[in-house]
Homo-oligomer: A and B are copies of this chain.
């Protein structure tokens, strides 16, 4: 029986994680949850799982809306309190954004295994997480469909045989538009992802392809590969979740339905496959799979990710913070789709890089970058 503490319980990954826990009561017990502002959903979870020992919400003023006698915490600090006090065997970090980084470090420092859906943890603090894992005996299990696919392809293989990792990319909601055609796109159009149903932030990151840039960085740290040995391949159907190319010119590909519960299960079961009640994939009915060359000029966010990770230090933190703020500004109709890229590029080129940043350095750089982005957006409004 694995005690699970779920960070970001009301989001897309959070809800699917709960679904798996619910369907496998003999394997998991939910002992702690955190959420942002969705108190209605939190109340449902607290009612459904009497096993929950404590919870955390983002804003103190929302405590009045919570129908529970369990111990409650708030703010970013509350997330750490829930991890500490629920005494989990596994923390599932399904938080969105930089806010997920410190809880990841805290989890590993406390020698607790971490199932990671929060991309920013490795993007911003890959080196710190690497040394956390070395120092403490905790495990890190990726949840992303691409990284689970790579883990499945790499399992039992020799590193010397591997030429490169290949992340597949759907191309996002605007994959059939040219750069020129991107000028007038709306938020509503951007939120229509062709193959996955995900949260708003990641759906925009998928349209700009920053999501794939983040995944490149995550893959580097998860599998200890040089960034130059990780490629991107456009693949329309999101059926091949990623591939590994071997030195003998053959590939292994992980193929499956676009159902996040499969990779989440793999992480929850500690890199073990688990038969869930999911819809199987009928390859015969899919009838064809398509590939297209990935063009980094079409998706400059990926080149920003390459630049950020190659320079390193605090620059990936700037990449993430500027992206996060710019994406939310786009979602709030404050800037256009292409301004997301402009703002990220500007922040990257003006940042003075801190080498080997500490967690505190990164928290500072994150908040400074957000401030600068907000100022830039205000300037653009005038």
A interface residues with partner B (beta carbon < 8 Å)? 152-153, 155-158, 161, 166, 233-234, 240-241, 243, 246-257, 259, 262, 265-266, 272-276, 278-281, 283-284, 286-294
Contact = CB atoms under 8 A, between A and B. Distances in A.
A277 to B, nearest CB: 10
A249 B281 contact: yes
Contacts of A284: 233-234, 291-294
A290 B288 contact: yes
B256 A255 contact: no
Given A155-B157, A248-B266, 19 more contacts: A155-B156, A158-B273, A166-B283, A233-B283, A240-B253, A247-B275, A248-B262, A249-B259, A249-B275, A250-B255, A250-B256, A251-B281, A252-B254, A253-B255, A283-B291, A284-B292, A287-B290, A288-B289, A288-B290
A286 B276 contact: no
A276 B288 contact: no
Contact of A265 (B156, B248, B256, B259): B248
Contacts of A273: 158, 161, 246-248, 250
A293 B287 CA distance: 9
Contact of A249 (B166, B248, B276): B276
Contacts of A272: 161
Contacts of A281: 249-251
Contact of A275 (B248, B257, B287, B288): B248
B280 A291 contact: no
Copies in the complex: 2
7 contacts: A248-B256, A248-B266, A249-B256, A249-B279, A251-B256, A286-B291, A287-B291
A244 to B, nearest CB: 10
Contacts of A275: 247-249
Contacts of A274: 247-248
A234 B288 CA distance: 11
Given A157-B155, A284-B291, A284-B292, A249 B278 contact: yes
Contacts of A247: 273-275
Nearest to A247: B275
Contacts of A293: 284
Nearest to A273: B248
Nearest to A233: B283
Given A161-B273, A284-B233, A153 B289 contact: no
Contacts of A166: 283
A232 to B, nearest CB: 11
Contacts of A262: 248-250
Contacts of A256: 248-251
A266 B157 CA distance: 14
Nearest to A251: B255
Nearest to A168: B283
Contacts of A240: 253
Nearest to A255: B251
A276 to B, nearest CB: 7
A166 B283 CA distance: 11
A336 to B, nearest CB: 30
B255 A243 contact: yes
A153 B233 contact: no
A155 B273 CA distance: 15
Nearest to A281: B249
